[in-house]
Structure 1
Amino acid sequence: MQRLTMMTKGRSLAASLRRAAANPLPGSGLSRCQRSFHATTWAQTDGVFTGLTDTRLRIPWIEALRIQQGHKDAQASEKPKERDLTPKKMSDSYHRVVLPLGQDPWLSDTYINSSGHIRLGTLFMDLDALSGIIVYKHTGPGVTTVTAALDRITIAHPLTEICDLEYSGQVTYASGRSSVEITCKVAKARAEGEPSKPEDVLLTCTFTMVALDPETRKPVNLPKLEYTTPEEEKIFKAGEENSLLKKEAFKASLLQSEPNDPESALIHNIWLRQLEYHDPNNSLRQPKNVVAMAKTQLSTAAIMQPQYRNRHQTMIFGGFHLKQTFELAFCCAASFAHARPTFISADPCTFRNPVPVGSVLYLTATVAYTDPPLLEEDGTEPKQKDPDRPMTRVHVRVDSKVRDVEHGVAKSTGQFNYTFSVPKNLKVLPHTYEEYMIYIDARRRVMESDRQRKTESVSRLGQVRNDTQDVNLMG
């Protein structure tokens, strides 16, 4: 009887919805063609602009689950398939999409935060989806591609108005091995045919994508990238240099070697300062603006649901993973500073293992470094440039791991690094050896980010000079 009542109520609800759609309320401004009720959602990834996901999911989750269960015991073939490795041009992978944020106010629900600013985490999701489209233009069908790393995201010119945004990108380096470099940018959308100007660029980012055999899950070779113009050659050489720098950075990482002499001296000086804080015979006490690293941590745990899966059906979309880590890092910086953080950059972030649908994702954010730091290498205390208007860069590290719902063995799924600025004078203080290593690693990342920012500034200055010369010649 209860079941019959529920079915009757369900039919009544459906009938009411049909009547509401056919007869809109007077003065509502809604016509039959403007708002319609659909029992079936579009095949797309939640939170990603539809222009980037129209063909992303080809079958619903329930069918993907049946296929997965049916092939669970199937043996994968070890014989690699033959693929077309004909070299590709940069233009072959170029892709451009316009996000009509200025034209469609309803998009603000997804892309604008409570204070009226752009939601960067949502943009990061879109950019990862864009890189997925770009890499498939380069690889062609028959391979599985995954995001291996986010090499860098930098804010070029902060957005000062809500307007249409243009997403664009292309493969900028591919040696013929299993990985490719993809460079994307977000800029103010110009009229069709009108090129964007340097000041229109909101942010730029670089992804590393890796191709795998869909059956064996082993890396496969991809087409090499050809350059046809001096500008493309310059871009390709920069990608080649970045690839070499990443290999050198791995060899010099703290997982491969101990801290160098200046870093060891810094660790020792911070340790001595801690002893002074607790020495009853010393009047020096830990200032209120110095916070223990362990007290800065924030953690989350969430079940990974099917609507966030990638095009390969059984794994979570890398952009969603990126968005979750960024928003937790933002909350961590805000909790540490008791002020609203301003995003500066995302430094190299690695995706170590995939996140399966249905697994539990654990994220832990830690304030790993502050600049100005507690102490310099020589033991002196750095000063704020303007004591009346203090500003501190806060580097947040987010560690990610995954378990199945039965809470079996945990796997590391990546490390994500974000830098913010806050209008406060704050310091983070490591205590344990592990925290010191986290501190030194974050310090290296901030210093490398400064080096790259200076290089980019010089490059932009040269571009402005060239543009000025072009204008003078045209005049």
Structure 2
Amino acid sequence: MLMDMNSSSSTTIPVKGTIPVAYTFASPFNNPPPPLAHSSGDRKPTALWPGMYHSPLTTALWEAKSNILVRQLDPPKDAPPQTELLTKTPSQSRTCLVYHFSSDFILREQYRDPWNEVRIGKLLEDLDALAGTISVKHCSDEDSTTRPLLMVTASVDKIVLKKPISVDTDLKIVGSIIWVGRSSIEIQLEVTQSKEECCDASDSVALTANFIFVARDSKTKKAAPVNRLSPETEHEKLLLEQCEAKNSLKKRKRGGEKMAFENGELNRLQSLLAEGRIFCDMPALADRDSILLRDTCLENSMICQPQQRNIHGRIFGGFLMHRAFELAFSTAYAFAGLVPYFLEVDHVDFLKPVDVGDFLRFKSCVLYTELHNPDQPLINVEVVAHVTRPELRSSEVSNTFYFTFTVRPEAKATKNGLKLRNVVPATEEEARLILERMDADSLQ
């Protein structure tokens, strides 16, 4: 079910309203409940909207914001843009999504992976949908005479898995706005799961995620200003300050990256390339504990279907993350020879929109490994999504994803003397990419 939260604490927030998740039931031997009732009139039933083919939780999210989104599907003709910005608190858009895994058999089976944990790829879809719901709530002026804004996923700042997420225990995601710029907003999401005997809220946090959304004018498609944010609690004020400091650091880092590379990175670059040249020129003499980056690659492709679009007719960002995660997982599995365990998604930029009918290609590789901690070796995987247009003989990068995995402890225990290979580049472009990612990870 979906809940609007009316306070700043995710553990003691009273429920203002609940919206049930449709079309699920407790046991496969029971009759399913009837579909949710929809409003009268000529409005299209929510279950038939674009984006309704992902999960019952995503369906519930679209239903929850239907009163706002129905204007975006058919905005008033010649409606003016919003001119007077409002000041809203985080609690006004705070939303909670609850997964009743313990009692809902169908829901549990939809999210179960082979290790009796939650499928991370499906969870990424829901995180993006929930962040979108929250962004629409914050940016709405609740005035049907103004032109609604289009909220677009700009980037994912970070997604970190803190502990395994069981599929047998109820799960909750709470999200709220933590920072607002001129036309962009940042949403923080916390996934919590705990046993009944566990009362420590901090120990129940299983995953954290931060999404950046940008507002576009629905008519001109240009950047549009968004409502202001007024934090109420000390925790909300602290989060706002941390976001401001983080954004300032990013700006300074972007300004100094090129000079830093020119001044001090050539030695590291040459060192990385030296081992790769041995593989290319004298493969019989190459280090058997290393492997060329190009030999870790996997690839798949797809035609984007109407069922994968959102209400704006474009491919759902969460769906892209889902597909990228599945390929990254397979890449880490083939590389390690053991079942990988997901740890985090690094910063992701959504560079270009993906449309229905696009030919989408996902290319993955292991960028580098970190082996200094034998109990938790790290596998860093890059997945690049290309929108390919054969008619035009063109290919453009839509998204680049960076995932970090380790090896599942129970899998590692079955193989004595686990040893992952170092990854080395064969070209200067690959070497620069590896160094950039290493430096970015070291600053996290």
Shorter-chain TM range is 0.7 to 0.9
Structure 1: any 5+ residue segments left out of the alignment? 1-27, 59-63, 68-75, 373-383, 450-475
2:435 aligned residue: 440
1:371 aligned residue: 370
The answer as to whether partners of 2:46 and 2:62 remain within 8 angstroms in 1 is no
1:464 aligned residue: none
Residues 1:269 and 1:135: Cα distance change in structure 2 (over 3 Å):
same
Q: Distance in 1 between matches of 2:378 and 2:406?
A: 4
Alignment of 1:40-55 (within 5 A): 42-43=47-48, 44-48=51-55, 49=57, 50-54=59-63
C-alpha deviations, 1:50-72, integer Å up to 9, x for none?
Answer: 322325789xxxxx8xx9xxxxx
The answer as to whether partners of 2:112 and 2:167 remain within 8 angstroms in 1 is no
1:323 aligned residue: 322
Matched, 1:415 2:420: no
Q: Distance in 1 between matches of 2:431 and 2:364?
A: 16
The answer as to whether partners of 1:88 and 1:224 remain within 8 angstroms in 2 is yes
1:128 aligned residue: 128
2:267 aligned residue: 265
The answer as to whether partners of 2:278 and 2:285 remain within 8 angstroms in 1 is yes
**TM-score under structure 1 length normalisation:** 0.73
C-alpha deviations, 1:215-270, integer Å up to 9, x for none?
Answer: 111000111211223222111101112222232333345xx557255532222223
3-state SS of 2:383 partner: strand
3-state SS of 1:247 partner: helix
Alignment RMSD: 3.1
2:305 aligned residue: 305
Q: Report the Cα offset of residue 86 of structure 1.
A: 1.3
- Which residue identity lines up with residue 185 of structure 1 in the other structure? E
3-state SS of 1:54 partner: helix
Structure 2: any 5+ residue segments left out of the alignment? 1-27, 36-44, 68-72, 142-147, 413-418
Aligned mate of 2:187, from 164, 182, 185: 182
Q: Distance in 1 between matches of 2:272 and 2:393?
A: 38
2:251 aligned residue: 247
- Which residue identity lines up with residue 54 of structure 1 in the other structure? E
The answer as to whether partners of 2:65 and 2:137 remain within 8 angstroms in 1 is no
- Which residue identity lines up with residue 268 of structure 1 in the other structure? Q
The answer as to whether partners of 1:182 and 1:206 remain within 8 angstroms in 2 is yes
Alignment of 1:313-352 (within 5 A): 314-352=313-351
2:4 aligned residue: none
Alignment of 1:34-73 (within 5 A): 42-43=47-48, 44-48=51-55, 49=57, 50-54=59-63
3-state SS of 1:401 partner: strand
1:4 aligned residue: none
Residues 1:289 and 1:45: Cα distance change in structure 2 (over 3 Å):
farther
Aligned mate of 1:206, from 204, 210, 214: 210
Q: Distance in 1 between matches of 2:305 and 2:92?
A: 34
3-state SS of 2:114 partner: coil
Q: Distance in 1 between matches of 2:373 and 2:429?
A: 31
Higher-Rg member (1/2):
1
Aligned mate of 1:220, from 210, 224, 228: 224
Q: Report the Cα offset of residue 433 of structure 1.
A: 1.1
- Which residue identity lines up with residue 53 of structure 1 in the other structure? W
Q: Report the Cα offset of residue 426 of structure 1.
A: 1.6
2:358 aligned residue: 359
Q: Distance in 1 between matches of 2:167 and 2:322?
A: 22
Q: Distance in 2 between matches of 1:89 and 1:34?
A: 37
C-alpha deviations, 1:90-116, integer Å up to 9, x for none?
Answer: 111101111111211211332111232
1:397 aligned residue: 382
Identity %: 28
2:86 aligned residue: 86
- Which residue identity lines up with residue 188 of structure 1 in the other structure? Q
Q: Report the Cα offset of residue 157 of structure 1.
A: 2.5
3-state SS of 1:294 partner: helix
The answer as to whether partners of 1:145 and 1:209 remain within 8 angstroms in 2 is yes
